[in-house]
Amino acid sequence: MASVELTAENFDSTITSNEIVVVDFWADWCGPCKMFAPTFEAASEKDPEIVFGKVDTEAEQSLAAAAGIQSIPTLMVFREKILLFSQAGALPPAALDDLIAQVKGLDMEAVHAEIAKQQAEVAE
């Protein structure tokens, strides 16, 4: 599956209705973004069960602001609606592949349990 354009209108529904979503925040004027684009597209072809979304930070300034984007490219990875990774900078292909493998291999029951534990501690 090739990457999809994410906007303020479809961002939340994309995150909530897909198990794994990898998001690239980019801009047309950004050199590192352009260098990272082929790596991102290649990953989207290798893992068709994952949604790879791109947010044009120029066109979607309010979405970029809401996501706290301060530099681009920024990569975010969500699994089961949980933000697991957020980092500025272009990743080399092997690092992106490794990140995706780690996200796929996570024990999400343990992640959800840890989040519930932390929320309970905060509520006390």
Catalytic sites, residue numbers: 30, 33
Residue 54: closest CA among 93, 27, 89: 27
Cα 32–chain centre separation: 17
| Strand residue runs (E) in the chain | 4-5, 20-26, 51-56, 74-79, 82-88
What sign does the dihedral 122-21-29-7 (CA atoms) show?
negative
Residue 23: closest CA among 62, 115, 35, 10: 10
Torsion (CA) 82, 116, 98, 79 in degrees, nearest 10? -30
